[in-house]
A and B are shown apart, each in its own frame.
Chain A
Amino acid sequence: MTSSKSHVPQDAEDQSLFTAFTTYMGFIVLFFFGHLRDTFGKLTGRSRFRDELLVKHVDEAPLLDPQGGAFYVRRLKHRMQDCFFRPISSRPGAWIDVMEQRVDDNGVRMETTGETKRCLNLGSYNYLGFADDWDSTCGEQVHAALKIYGPASCSAQGDAGAMSVHRELEEVVANFVGKPAAVVFNMGYNTNQLTLPAIAQAGSLLISDKLNHTSIVNGCRASGAKVMAFKHNMADDLERVVRKAIIEGRGKPGEVYRPWTKIIVVVEGIYSMEGEVCDLRAIVDVAKKYKCYTYVDEAHSIGALGKTGRGICEHAGVHPDEIDILMGTFTKSFGGMGGYIAGSQELIDYLRGASAGLLYSASLSPVVAEQVLRAFQIIQGEDGTTVGRDRLRAIKDNANYFRTKLKQMGCSVLGDDDSPIVPMMLFHSTKIAAFSREALDRDLAVVVVGAPAVPIYGGRVRFCISAAHTKEDLRMALKKISEITKVLNLRYTRSIFG
Chain B
Amino acid sequence: MSAASAAEPGAEDLTLSIHVPHFVTSMLAQIPGANEYLKWWINLWRENPVHLLVETTLILLILYILLQRPSKKRSKMETLPAAVAQELLNEYEPEPLCPPLTEGARMVLEDSVLLETKPSKYTKVSGVDKEVLNLTTMDFLGFGQRKEIHKAAEDALNKYGCGSCGPRGFYGSIDVHVFLEKDLANFFGTDDCIVYSDADSTATSAIPAFSNRSDLLVVDEAVNDAIITGVNLSRSRVLFFKHNDMEDLARVLQKVEEEDRRLKRKPQRRFIVVEGLYRNYGDVCPLDEVVGLKNKYRWRLFLDESHSIGVFGASGKGVAEHFGIEMSEIDLFVSSLSTTFASVGGFCVGSREVVEHQRLSGAGYCFSASSPPFVSTVASQAIKLLTSEARSKLAPAVKKNAQTFHAAVRKLADGDLVTVSNPSSALAHVRLAPKYQLAEDPADYDEATRCAEEKTLRAITKKMREEGVLATVANYIILPDTVKQVVGSNKRPPLPPPSIRFAITALHDEDELTRAVQTLVKCTREALKDHPSEAPVTVSTPSITLRKRH
CB distance from B17 to the nearest CB of A (A): 46
Taken residue by residue from 322 to 345, chain B's Cβ proximity to chain A (1 for < 8 Å, 0 otherwise) reads as: 000000000100001011001110
Is the Cβ of B232 less than 8 Å from the Cβ of A222? yes
Judged by a CB distance under 8 angstroms, whether A180 is at the interface is: no
Residues of A within 8 A of B472 (CB): 159-160
Q: A190-B201, A224-B487 are in contact. Are A92 and B174 (CB under 8 A)?
A: yes
Is the Cβ of B92 less than 8 Å from the Cβ of A60? no
Is the Cβ of A85 less than 8 Å from the Cβ of B169? yes
Please provide the 10 A-B residue pairs with the shortest distance between their CB atoms, ordered closest to farther. Answer: A353-B105, A134-B161, A189-B368, A362-B338, A331-B369, A224-B548, A350-B98, A187-B198, A150-B118, A160-B136
State A12–B105 Cα separation when bound (angstroms). Answer: 47
Judged by a CB distance under 8 angstroms, whether A213 is at the interface is: yes
Residues of A within 8 A of B116 (CB): 163-164
State A176–B371 Cα separation when bound (angstroms). Answer: 25
Is the Cβ of A350 less than 8 Å from the Cβ of B99? yes
Residue in chain A with minimal CB distance to B479: A354
Complex A-B: 21 CB contacts under 8 Å: A64-B357, A85-B168, A121-B171, A126-B165, A138-B161, A139-B158, A149-B117, A150-B118, A151-B343, A160-B113, A163-B114, A213-B367, A215-B363, A247-B76, A259-B93, A331-B166, A352-B112, A353-B477, A356-B200, A360-B225, A365-B372
State A124–B144 Cα separation when bound (angstroms). Answer: 30
Judged by a CB distance under 8 angstroms, whether A202 is at the interface is: yes
Count B-side interface residues using an 8 Å CB cutoff. Answer: 131
Is the Cβ of B161 less than 8 Å from the Cβ of A69? no
Q: A153-B119, A352-B105 are in contact. Are A131 and B378 (CB under 8 A)?
A: no
Is the Cβ of B368 less than 8 Å from the Cβ of A353? no
Is the Cβ of B342 less than 8 Å from the Cβ of A151? yes
Residues of B within 8 A of A148 (CB): 117-118
Could you say which of B126, B149, B198 contacts A164, with CB atoms under 8 Å apart? Answer: B126
Is the Cβ of B144 less than 8 Å from the Cβ of A152? yes
Residues of B within 8 A of A142 (CB): 157, 162
State A245–B342 Cα separation when bound (angstroms). Answer: 48
Taken residue by residue from 117 to 156, chain A's Cβ proximity to chain B (1 for < 8 Å, 0 otherwise) reads as: 0000101111000110011001100110011111111111
Is the Cβ of B367 less than 8 Å from the Cβ of A336? no
| Interface residues, chain A, with chain B CB atoms under 8 Å away | 52, 57-61, 63-64, 69-70, 73, 77, 84-93, 96, 98-99, 109, 112, 121, 123-126, 130-131, 134-135, 138-139, 142-143, 146-160, 162-164, 167, 186-190, 193-194, 197-199, 201-203, 213-215, 218, 221-224, 243-244, 246-249, 253, 257, 259-264, 290-293, 324-325, 329-332, 334-337, 343-344, 346-347, 349-357, 359-362, 365, 367-368, 371, 445, 447
Could you say which of A112, A188, A224 contacts B550, with CB atoms under 8 Å apart? Answer: A224
Could you say which of A90, A199, A330, A351 contacts B163, with CB atoms under 8 Å apart? Answer: A330
Residues of A within 8 A of B92 (CB): 246, 259, 290-291
State A259–B94 Cα separation when bound (angstroms). Answer: 8
Is the Cβ of A63 less than 8 Å from the Cβ of B269? yes
CB distance from B97 to the nearest CB of A (A): 5
Judged by a CB distance under 8 angstroms, whether B496 is at the interface is: no
Is the Cβ of B338 less than 8 Å from the Cβ of A61? no
Is the Cβ of B173 less than 8 Å from the Cβ of A86? yes
Is the Cβ of A64 less than 8 Å from the Cβ of B353? yes
Is the Cβ of B94 less than 8 Å from the Cβ of A131? no
Among B157, B215, B229, the one with the most A-chain Cβ atoms within 10 Å of its Cβ is B157
Q: A92-B166, A189-B368, A359-B477 are in contact. Are A63 and B354 (CB under 8 A)?
A: yes
Q: A123-B170, A139-B157 are in contact. Are A356 and B357 (CB under 8 A)?
A: no
Among B93, B99, B201, the one with the most A-chain Cβ atoms within 10 Å of its Cβ is B201
State A343–B510 Cα separation when bound (angstroms). Answer: 46
